[in-house]
Amino acid sequence: MDWVNAAVQGILLGGLYALFAVGLSLVFGTMRLVNLAHGDLTVLPAYVALMLVNAFRFNPFYSIPITMVIMFVFGYLLQRGLLNTIVRSGDIPGVIVTFGISIVIQNALLLGFTANSQGLDAGSIENGSIKISDRLAIGWLPLIIFIMAVIVIAALQIYTQRTKMGRAFRAVSDDQDAARLMGINNKHVWAVAMGVALLIAAIGGVMMAIRTTFDPLLGSQRLIYAFEAVIIGGMGSSWGTLMGGVILGLAQTLGAQAFGSAWSILCGHVVFIIILAFRPQGLLAKTVTA
Amino acid sequence: MILGFGVLVAIVLIIFPLFGGIPWTRRLVDFFTLLALAQLWNLMLGYAGLISVGQQGFIGIGSYTLWLFSDILGIHPFVAVIFAAIGGAIIALPAASLVFKLRGGYLAIGTWVLAEVMRLIVANIKRTGGGSGTTVQAASQLATETRVPGTYWWALGLAIVAIGVTYFLLRSRTGLGLEAMRDNDLAAESSGVNLWRTKLLTYVVAGAGCAAAGAVVAIHLLRIQPAAAFSINWTAYLIFITVIGGVGTIEGPVIGTLIYFILRETTSQYGEWYFIVLGLLAIVVTIWSPRGIYGYVVRKTNFFLFPVQRKIRFKGAGESPPTQVESGAEPVA
């Protein structure tokens, strides 16, 4: 039964990783930019929510929509003001600039909030769970996060398939120049894509902040989990990303169950490495090249 | 004239520990280790187009291999540095076969994952002292008068080797292949450059060099700890140094390391602000002056201390004007 419990927790954890991964994947998909600051950009909204909760003293769940809007605007401006200048200059400037942004965000958070762990108190729901048997209980919060991940991915699918802006995402992804000739303002489209990516990052970031504690240095670990989920699932596939997150979550919780919690994260990495070695295009790949 | 000056500088640097005093010698150990690391990072990025944010993995492996060979197997620490380099090269081979499945930015994160894997493995082995680390006994037992100059010569030697390897590699056929690959990998491959082997060579050389540097760091600091030895901050420093100095030149990292040191000695007590400045400078230079400081110098003066670019020379007077065609990234001045 402990194994079943570990497996259930792993699947639910995977939903969270998928929430972190979707934004990374969206940004790469629309502008071929690998955003090394993405992990820190999931930590930043947690601090935005913390400030909102401290200012207005409301339940942290109410801070989610406000934080989403703030992060959307932040992403739009970040892309418009800074990142658009390097979208067309290849991989290397993108990596260096986003790594720089990562360092700046991390240290700015350390400066403003110290390295101490913080938490958001959402009341009784944090510990509430659905008791299935004596040894198996599904926490409300992890379940809500998982359902949220499914909703976000479905919504993003509909958005990119059915709306005008979604079509523009796919157009600039396929051919930047042709898209421009068709009257698409690439710079605006990329900025919206970054905004949407950070809006999703805000959902994951604040949910995680309610679930556990957080500190300014979590970003790099989250970037790595998000990246692993994307690669395991296969690039360009949203449901693949969810599957990648679930596999990573399962590897971590089952690994902890088998070898002890010290090995949990390493087990996740090992599963990632095995999949990279034997199926580098990922499990549900749509595109082959990275 | 330049050669004579160079020889003089080299002699002064080699005998520096004899007159420079312990504190300055120790500072220069830091300087030359970072210079060697930056030079190798530059070799990967500036010439092979491989962007790694995971060299801290090899630095950490080097530190711990040194500890393994000196404290557990009883080999003199100054000899154990060689084993650390070999260890780095051995690990770089399978690591390359994994990360080379990824491209560009994803390759970068892939190298980071591998560094994390190495850190977690080392931190989970009880014998290494786990997360809290351990003291390198064999190095602590050396007298300061032997240890500091010895470490200094290792660091200086590594920096010279890193510069030398880069210089001679780039002037060889492989170097031409590397630059072709960086500029356009498809065209390079169709011209007969073996991409995989060329990239692998660079990655293994860099892995061995970073491990040797990590071993020198371990003797220098006497204490090893996974969080510090495998810290992503190493990559932050290397990116900063190379980008500010000038990617794709041998001179760039030298200038970058000097600037980094001046910044560190003057502002590192400001902690977070210091890192914010490093990050912002890297962003600003990448966007507005992608060739860094040395790129700017070259554009103005066309002076190369280490000429690795190829030029077409026209023989005989009165034929074509002596136009220069450079194979480097720098456009014709």
Please report the pLDDT score of residue B173 as a whole number.
79
Give domain status of residue A278, yes or no.
Answer: no
Q: Tell me, what's the pLDDT at B327?
A: 47
The C-alpha angle with vertex B263 and arms to B258 and B268, in degrees rounded to 5, equals: 135
Which residues 6+ apart lie within 8 Å of A235 measured at CB?
A25, A28, A29, A281, A282, A285, A286, A287, A290
**A107–B273: do the CB atoms touch at under 8 Å?**
yes
Please check the confidence at residue B242 and state whether its pLDDT lies above 90: yes
Say yes or no for a CB contact (<8 Å) between B51 and A107. Answer: no
Cα B96–Cα A243–Cα A25 angle in degrees, nearest 5? 65
Q: Mean pLDDT, chain A, as a whole number? A: 91
Sign, CA torsion B289/B292/B297/B299 = negative
Q: Is B279 on the interface with A (CB under 8 A)?
A: yes
N-term to C-term CA, chain B: 24
Higher pLDDT, B255 or B185: B255
Please check whether residue A100 is in contact with residue B282, taking contact to mean a CB–CB distance below 8 angstroms.
Answer: yes
- Please give the average per-residue pLDDT across A224-228, as a whole number: 95
Chain centre distance of CA A155? 15
pLDDT tens digits for range A197-206: 999 999 999 9
In-domain check, residue A236:
no
- Closest residue in B to A290 (Cα) is B103
Q: Which helix (H) or strand (E) holds B21?
A: none
Q: Is the pLDDT of residue B255 over 70?
A: yes
Alpha helices in chain B (DSSP H): 2-14, 16-19, 22-42, 48, 55-67, 77-99, 104-124, 137-140, 144-171, 173-183, 185-190, 195-221, 226-229, 233-245, 251-267, 272-288, 292-301
The total of other beta-carbon atoms located within 10 Å of residue B271's CB is 12
Q: Residue B123's closest CA among B222, B208, B207, B230?
A: B230
pTM for this entry: 0.89
| Per-residue pLDDT at B322 exceeds 70 | no
**Cα nearest neighbour of B286 on chain A:** A93
Sign of the C-alpha dihedral, residues B39, B44, B47, B50? Answer: negative
Considering only CA atoms, which of A225, A166, A165, A190 is closest in space to residue A38?
A225
Type and span of the H or E element at A138:
strand A137-139
Q: What is the pLDDT of residues A111-145, one digit of tens each?
A: 999 999 998 888 777 777 888 777 788 888 899 99
Task: Using DSSP bridges, classify how beta strands B134-135 and A137-139 pair: parallel, antiparallel or unpaired.
Answer: unpaired
pLDDT, mean of residues B55-75? 95
Contact A269 B113 (CB under 8 A): yes
Cα separation, B56 vs B59, in Å, equals 5
Query: Which amino acid appears at position A220 of this protein?
Result: S
CB–CB contact B106 A220 (8 Å): no
A101 neighbourhood in chain B, CB within 8 Å? 279, 283
The chain A residue lying nearest B279, using CA atoms, is: A100
Check pLDDT > 50 for residue B325. Answer: no
Full residue range of the structural domain in which residue A97 is found: 2-115+135-217
Question: How many Å lie between the alpha carbon of A15 and the closest alpha carbon of chain B?
Answer: 21
pLDDT band at B34 (very low <50, low <70, confident <90, very high): very high
What is residue A134's predicted lDDT score, i.e. its pLDDT?
Answer: 77
| Nearest Cβ partner for B243 among A96, A106, A266 | A96
For residues A52 and A67, give the distance between their C-alpha atoms in angstroms, rounded to a whole number. 8
Please report which confidence band the pLDDT of residue A290 belongs to, taking 50, 70 and 90 as the band edges.
very low
Q: What percent of chain B has pLDDT over 70?
A: 92
Q: Please judge whether A97 and B107 are an interchain contact, meaning their C-beta atoms are less than 8 angstroms apart.
A: no
Q: Tell me whether B286 touches chain A (CB under 8 Å).
A: yes
Structure tokens, A273: 């490495």
DSSP letter assigned to residue A118: B
Task: Say if the ipTM goes beyond 0.95.
Answer: no
- pLDDT band at residue B62 using 50, 70 and 90 as cut-offs: very high
> For chain A, how many structural domains are there in total?
1
Q: Is the pLDDT of residue A211 over 60?
A: yes
| Pick from A203-217, B119-133, B169-183: least confident | B169-183
Q: CB–CB of B282 and A96 under 8 A?
A: yes
Does any domain span residue A185?
yes
Nearest residue, CB atoms, B104 vs list A34, A106, A107: A34
d(CA B155, CA B36): 8
Cα separation, B184 vs B169, whole angstroms? 19
Number of domains in chain B: 1
Q: Which residues of A touch B275 (CB under 8 A)?
A: 103-104, 106-107
A41, part of any domain: yes
Tell me whether residues B102 and A99 touch, CB distance under 8 A.
no
Confidence of residue B297 (pLDDT cuts 50, 70, 90): confident
| Cα separation, A96 vs A86, whole angstroms | 10
* pLDDT given for residue B312 in this prediction: 65
Report the residue count for chain B. Answer: 333
Please check whether residue B1 touches A, CB under 8 A. no
Under 8 Å between Cβ of B95 and B44: no
Q: Name the strand (E) or helix (H) holding A188.
A: helix A186-211
**A91 to chain B: which residues are within 8 Å by CB?**
51, 103-105
Task: Give the amino acid at A205.
Answer: G
Q: Does B243 contact A104 at a Cβ distance shorter than 8 Å? A: no
- Stronger pLDDT, B90 or B146, i.e. the higher one: B90
pLDDT digits (tens, 9 = 90+) for B94-137: 999 999 988 888 999 999 999 999 999 999 988 888 888 899 98
> In Å, how far is A52's CA from the nearest CA of chain B?
24
- Residue span of the structural domain in which B193 resides: 21-231
pLDDT value of residue B174: 77
**Cβ–Cβ < 8 Å for A224, A248:** no
Question: Residue B156 pLDDT more than 90?
Answer: yes
Tell me if chain A has a CB within 8 Å of the CB of B122. Answer: no
B251 falls within a domain: no
A191 contacts: CB under 8 Å, gap ≥ 6: A75, A76, A77, A79, A80, A84
User: In angstroms, rounded to a whole number, what is the distance separating the alpha carbons of residues B277 and B275?
Assistant: 5
Cβ atoms of B229 and B64 within 8 Å: the answer is: yes
Measure the CA–CA gap between A120 and A109, rounded to whole angstroms. Answer: 16
What local confidence, expressed as pLDDT, does residue B333 receive? 35
Asked if B102's CB is within 8 angstroms of A90's CB, the reply is no
- What would the mean pLDDT of B288-297 be, rounded to a whole number? 84
Indicate whether B274 belongs to any domain: no
